[in-house]
């Protein structure tokens, strides 16, 4: 039997050895295949053909022994081809697989924000501020954290606009860059047949036009192409006009002679003898930079544009160049830090009243690019529904109330879609509460302002909505919704929690009382932190009982509910609740009545969820009058009182 087994093991060993060799060969071939795809992906990535790079990386990922690194490359390819929201799962997979790319934490935060996952994004930015080493990204992360403090205010801003998707005009390609000229909507699109642009997998961009209609829903019947400026295999986009439509500046790029990202410049063309002239490179373009999104001022004497040229404040900044009588453009001037940020500012336009509009991902916003309107030299977020968690950009107003913009928000047909925007003629109202936080110590006559202290805004169900930090004079501000009730809360060790109810219900002014298109209603509040002093009696006002009764009346219940709130707000305190009578009646009777009343009040408070161990009842009868030798009914009433005092504070 033993010899039989030995004879059988030899061929089995050969089989196992063959299988091992085969598996090793498969693994080697797989590794070679993965490496080949990875190498091809890297080559396309370097050439900024990000869509093709993604395809190769996806193939490499199937058998990759370094999935974190490959996922990171895919995420970067999506980000660099302006598809930030699609990069989120790949950044996450990269980080889950311990990729050693510190910047991934920051860009993962941007991707989360682009998908509306604000709390998760905030956590990423806060982490990067603490541990990041890239000074530029660390500064941007700090700004993102700061921007989040205004997010709730943007979300609660009263809508001033209505938005309509241009269903008939949009396609499954991208449409953006709207401009109204001579009763036509001029726009940019990747819809045309032709060569595929491997940066994002869509077609090359060309300029189109369609006749305006009375109804935005019908817009997009016949669409014509600007044949005279569109070139095959080159991006032509983002037109702006001056001189009554006879001068056009637009962006052109990605010829293939240089890296596509940097090879975007401004070109100028003139309408002469019924045709547009051969476009010429505008001399203000920087051959080493990305120059795009031009916009003329109303008088045509200033050209605004976006550029990432050296000397800016961040990624893309807004610049301006003046045009003299001979048509010469001056040296571009950066619009400075009041507009530009370490992020990206672009897609500038000028409204019919001269108002400047921009898109930015560096200013406080809802997603990636948000639209902003310049008011008194300061960019103001246009709020919902104009802005979304996606890219919202390229706004153009054809008159004071209507216009167009582009967005890649959910619900569209293609990558970027065009939307019709109309400003509501109903005057908007934004509510705010301006408060001041004080503290009052027991032995001090004057209360003092509390600076650099947190104040919490809760809804009427007790949910924490947001926080504010008091300023140098104890001041703080919150934006509020219409027809809503809130509570302002402040806490400090050694002090009773300060709480105040605030409501906007029935505070909306009549439309004929409003003087501006957008108005503010500012409510005021005062919060006082009172020092907790053990054994100091605090009178509960308006606690009344029926004659010779101890049961809790409805009016007394309202007041006792306030004490319940005090106990809930201050969970570390234990109190004694005491009841007192006047001197009329016998001592024994008064002591018994006061004890029954105190016990009745305590039972009511316990019924509201307060632990019995935190409160005791004590009836003092007539033994502790406030007014001795009381004679008037008012004096007797002062002696008939209910009090509480803190007897213990849990450390």
510-525 tens-digit pLDDT = 988 888 888 889 999 9
The CATH fold assigned to 165-426 is: Neuraminidase (2.120.10)
Give yes or no for residue 431 having a pLDDT over 70: yes
> What per-residue confidence (pLDDT) applies to 255?
56
> What per-residue confidence (pLDDT) applies to 150?
83
> What per-residue confidence (pLDDT) applies to 17?
52
Tokens of 228: 């005279």
Give yes or no for residue 259 having a pLDDT over 60: no
220's CB contacts (< 8 A; 6+ apart) are: 166, 168, 169, 170, 210
For range 607-613, the mean pLDDT: 95
- Least Cα distance to 449 among 494, 490, 505, 419 occurs for 490
Give yes or no for residue 257 having a pLDDT over 60: no
Give yes or no for residue 47 having a pLDDT over 90: no
What is the number of residues in the chain? 651
Give yes or no for residue 429 having a pLDDT over 50: yes
SS3 93: helix
Alpha-carbon span 347 to 369, nearest angstrom: 10
Share of the chain above pLDDT 90, in %: 59
Alpha-carbon span 352 to 460, nearest angstrom: 43
Tokens of 500: 């105040």
Position 345 confidence tier, pLDDT thresholds 50, 70, 90 = very high
For residues 612-647, one letter each, b for 16 or more C-beta atoms within 10 angstroms of the residue's C-beta and e for the rest, the string is eebbebbbbbbeebbeeebeeeeebebbbbbbbbbe
147's CB contacts (< 8 A; 6+ apart) are: 363, 364, 365
- Exposure of 307 by Cβ count < 10 A (0-12 exposed, 13-18 middle, 19+ buried)? buried
Report the mean per-residue pLDDT for the chain: 88
> What per-residue confidence (pLDDT) applies to 277?
92
Tens digits of per-residue pLDDT, 472-514? Answer: 999 999 999 888 999 999 999 999 999 999 999 999 999 888 8
- Exposure of 46 by Cβ count < 10 A (0-12 exposed, 13-18 middle, 19+ buried)? exposed
Position 410 confidence tier, pLDDT thresholds 50, 70, 90 = confident
Domain 538-649 has CATH 3.30.1330.60: yes
Tens digits of per-residue pLDDT, 292-322? Answer: 999 999 999 999 999 999 999 988 999 999 9
Which carries the bigger pLDDT value, residue 348 or residue 545? 348
DSSP codes joined into one string, 303-366:
EEEEE--TT-SSSSEEEEEEB-TT-PBPPPEE--TTT--SS-EEEEEE-TTS-EEEEESSSS-S
For range 450-457, the mean pLDDT: 96
Alpha-carbon span 65 to 60, nearest angstrom: 9
Position 136 confidence tier, pLDDT thresholds 50, 70, 90 = confident
Lowest mean pLDDT among 232-241, 421-430, 542-551, 578-587: 542-551
Give yes or no for residue 337 having a pLDDT over 80: yes
SS3 575: strand
Q: Could you give the angle at the alpha carbon of 144 between the alpha carbons of 140 and 146, nearest 5°? A: 115
> What per-residue confidence (pLDDT) applies to 48?
85
For range 38-55, the mean pLDDT: 90
Tens digits of per-residue pLDDT, 267-296? Answer: 999 998 888 999 999 999 998 899 999 999
> What per-residue confidence (pLDDT) applies to 218?
75
198's CB contacts (< 8 A; 6+ apart) are: 44, 49, 50, 51, 52
For range 49-76, the mean pLDDT: 91
SS3 272: strand
> What per-residue confidence (pLDDT) applies to 63?
84
Residue identified by tokens 């007897």 is 647
Give yes or no for residue 18 having a pLDDT over 90: no
- Exposure of 651 by Cβ count < 10 A (0-12 exposed, 13-18 middle, 19+ buried)? exposed
Alpha-carbon span 313 to 440, nearest angstrom: 46
CATH of domain 429-510+517-530: 2.60.40.10
For residue 390, the Cα-to-chain-centroid distance in whole angstroms is 11
For residue 584, is it left (φ>0), alpha (ψ between -120 and 50) or beta? beta
Position 27 confidence tier, pLDDT thresholds 50, 70, 90 = very low
Q: Is the CB of residue 250 less than 8 Å from the CB of residue 257?
A: no
Give yes or no for residue 87 having a pLDDT over 50: yes
Tens digits of per-residue pLDDT, 187-223? Answer: 999 987 877 777 777 888 999 999 998 777 678 778 9
SS3 content of the chain, % helix, strand, coil (to 5): 30, 30, 40
Domain boundaries, the chain: 29-155, 165-426, 429-510+517-530, 538-649
Residue 305 β-bridge partners:
319
> What per-residue confidence (pLDDT) applies to 103?
92
- Least Cα distance to 342 among 144, 526, 158 occurs for 144
Position 616 confidence tier, pLDDT thresholds 50, 70, 90 = very high
Alpha-carbon span 233 to 196, nearest angstrom: 8
Tokens of 71: 């996922």
For range 600-620, the mean pLDDT: 95
The CATH fold assigned to 29-155 is: 1.25.40
SS3 41: helix
For range 44-62, the mean pLDDT: 90
Which carries the bigger pLDDT value, residue 445 or residue 73? 73
Beta-sheet strands, E only, within 453-544: 454-459, 464-469, 475-480, 485-490, 498-503, 518-530, 538-540
For residue 576, the Cα-to-chain-centroid distance in whole angstroms is 47
Residue identified by tokens 């004694």 is 576
Angle, in degrees to the nearest 10, between helices 88-96 and 67-80: 160
Alpha-carbon span 249 to 242, nearest angstrom: 9
């Amino acid at each position: 039997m033993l010899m039989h087994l030995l004879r059988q093991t030899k061929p089995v060993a050969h089989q196992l050895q063959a299988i091992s060799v085969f598996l090793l060969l498969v693994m080697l071939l797989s590794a070679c295949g993965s490496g080949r795809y990875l190498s091809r992906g890297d080559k396309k990535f370097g050439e900024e053909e990000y869509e093709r790079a993604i395809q190769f990386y996806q193939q490499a990922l199937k058998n990759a022994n370094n999935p974190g690194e490959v996922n990171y490359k895919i995420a970067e390819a999506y980000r660099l081809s302006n598809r930030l929201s699609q990069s989120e799962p790949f950044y996450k997979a990269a980080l889950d697989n311990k990729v050693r790319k510190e910047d991934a934490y920051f860009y993962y935060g941007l991707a989360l924000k682009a998908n509306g996952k604000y709390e998760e994004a905030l956590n990423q930015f806060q982490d990067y501020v603490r541990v990041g080493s890239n000074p530029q990204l660390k500064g941007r992360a700090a700004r993102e954290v700061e921007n989040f403090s205004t997010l709730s205010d943007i979300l609660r801003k009263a809508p001033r606009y209505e938005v309509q998707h241009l269903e008939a005009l949009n396609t499954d390609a991208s449409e953006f860059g709207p401009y109204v000229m001579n009763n036509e909507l001029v726009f940019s699109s990747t819809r045309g047949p032709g060569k595929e642009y491997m940066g994002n997998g869509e077609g090359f961009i060309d300029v189109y036009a369609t006749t305006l209609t009375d109804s935005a829903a019908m817009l997009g019947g016949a669409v014509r192409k600007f044949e005279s400026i569109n070139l095959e295999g080159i991006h032509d986009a983002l037109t702006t006009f001056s001189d009554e439509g006879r001068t056009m500046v637009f962006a052109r790029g990605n010829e293939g002679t240089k890296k596509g990202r940097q090879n975007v410049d401004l070109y100028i063309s003139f309408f002469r003898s019924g045709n547009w002239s051969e476009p010429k490179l505008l001399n203000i373009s920087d051959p080493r930079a990305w120059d795009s999104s031009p916009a003329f001022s109303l008088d045509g004497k200033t050209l605004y544009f976006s550029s990432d040229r050296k000397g800016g404040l961040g990624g893309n900044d807004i610049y301006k160049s003046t045009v003299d009588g001979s048509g010469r453009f001056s040296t571009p001037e950066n619009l400075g830090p009041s507009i530009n940020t370490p992020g990206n500012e672009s897609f500038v336009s000028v409204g019919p009243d001269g108002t400047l509009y921009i898109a930015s991902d560096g200013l406080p916003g809802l997603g990636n690019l948000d639209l902003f309107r310049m008011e008194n030299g300061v960019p103001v977020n246009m709020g919902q529904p104009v802005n979304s968690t996606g890219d919202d950009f390229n706004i153009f107003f054809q008159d004071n109330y209507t216009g167009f913009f582009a967005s890649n928000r959910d619900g569209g047909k293609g990558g970027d879609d065009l939307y019709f925007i109309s400003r509501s003629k109903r005057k908007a109202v934004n509510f705010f509460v301006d408060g001041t936080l004080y503290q009052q110590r027991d032995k001090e006559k004057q209360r003092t302002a509390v600076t650099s202290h947190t104040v919490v805004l809760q809804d009427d169900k007790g949910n924490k909505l947001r926080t504010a930090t008091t300023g140098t004079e104890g001041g703080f501000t919150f934006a509020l919704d219409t027809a809503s009730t809130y509570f302002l809360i402040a806490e400090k060790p050694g002090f009773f929690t300060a709480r105040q109810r605030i409501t906007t219900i029935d505070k909306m002014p009549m439309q004929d009382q409003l003087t501006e298109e957008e108005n503010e209603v500012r409510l005021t509040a005062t919060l006082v932190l009172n020092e907790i002093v053990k054994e100091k009696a605090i009178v509960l006002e308006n606690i009344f009982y029926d004659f010779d009764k101890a049961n809790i009346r409805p009016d007394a219940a309202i007041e006792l509910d306030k004490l319940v709130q005090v106990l809930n707000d201050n969970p570390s305190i234990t109190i004694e609740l005491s009841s007192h009578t006047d001197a009329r009646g016998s001592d024994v009777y008064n002591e018994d009545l006061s004890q029954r009343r105190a016990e009745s009040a305590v039972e009511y408070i316990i019924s509201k969820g307060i632990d019995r161990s935190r409160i005791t009842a004590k009836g003092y009868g007539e033994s502790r009058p406030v007014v001795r030798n009381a004679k008037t009914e008012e004096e007797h009433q002062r002696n008939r009182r209910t009090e509480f005092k803190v007897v213990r504070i849990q450390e």
